[in-house]
Amino acid sequence: MGSNLALQAVDKGLNVVGKARSKKPELSQKGVKVVSDYKVFADFLEPPRVIFLSLPAGSTIDVVIKDLLPFIEKGDVIIDGGNSYYKDSIVREAELSKNGIYFVDCGTSGGVTGARNGACFMVGGKPEAIKLCESILKLLAVNGGYLHCGEPGSGHFVKLVHNGIEFGMLQAIGEGVELLRHGDFSLNLKEIFRVWSHGSVIRSWLVELMEKGLNEVADLSLVPDFVEDTGEVNWLVQEAIEKEIPLPVTTQAVMELFKSRRKQSDAARAIAIMRHGFGGHPYGKDDYIAKERKTSRIHPV
């Protein structure tokens, strides 16, 4: 995501510097200045600096901010463009504001394709912070795909709800695939999803990704039906329980995801195809993502 956003920014005339632990020739060759030192990184940018973090949620965000702080100054902006828990973002904003540093929580959607060609941003932060980074975010967003949602934390909260809706949609499509595969007819799934992408009530990017994925896999049965996730929608379900707001579809979608880790399921295979399509999520079990699911939220509901 971060690499694709950087390349999009270069394409649109921005000077971009990226901090990385290793050389990134695929970025350097296309105009991104890649450095391995925070001082060099900060010195490249003119104050007020706009720094976009594209990192896994959890303690990594805090480690990077701590390492950055000695080299930035009052009035600079740090944008968290990942899937951090919104209450973690509220705490980070309050802490950084003590040093005069602005913090913006930026829910980012659109997958790797959106990052490269035009993302969808849901942004939370104080008006003074938004004023400094809004023009850049609008430039990197697809037309109509930018919103300042409100106060600090609101951007990541809106993205959290977005992810819950996404889970419900994935589950509904997956269940449709299960029924189509085990119904009374010999059906061409690729052609069904192709026609659904043209004028049907359920036409959507997810339906298009399902068609694309079916064209890329030789046999749906070969797709691992173990679906990993980084746990954000679990937070949403816990939030709903805390507020006593019924979310039956979202909650059931999470439960079905858990079930995918215990039995054979064409619905889970279909969900895996769509998640791989929009976010490059791996097929099958992934120990790193399983760990992230446990560590990516710092503060409780």
- Active-site positions read 159, 166
Longest distance between any two alpha carbons in the chain, whole Å:
67
Closest CA to 74 of 102, 40, 41, 44: 102
Radius of gyration of the chain (CA): 20
Q: Residue 198 has what DSSP assignment? A: T
β-sheet with 50-53: strand ranges across: 50-53, 77-80, 102-109, 119-124, 141-150
Question: How many alpha carbons lie under 13 Å from residue 76 in its C-beta half-sphere?
Answer: 20
CB 85 within 8 A of CB 107: no
User: Which pairing describes strands 77-80 and 102-109: parallel, antiparallel, or unpaired?
Assistant: parallel
CB 239 within 8 A of CB 301: yes
User: Which pairing describes strands 141-150 and 119-124: parallel, antiparallel, or unpaired?
Assistant: parallel
Residue 58 burial class via C-beta count within 10 angstroms: exposed 0-12, middle 13-18, buried 19 and up: buried
SS3 53: strand
Q: Residue 71 has what DSSP assignment? A: G
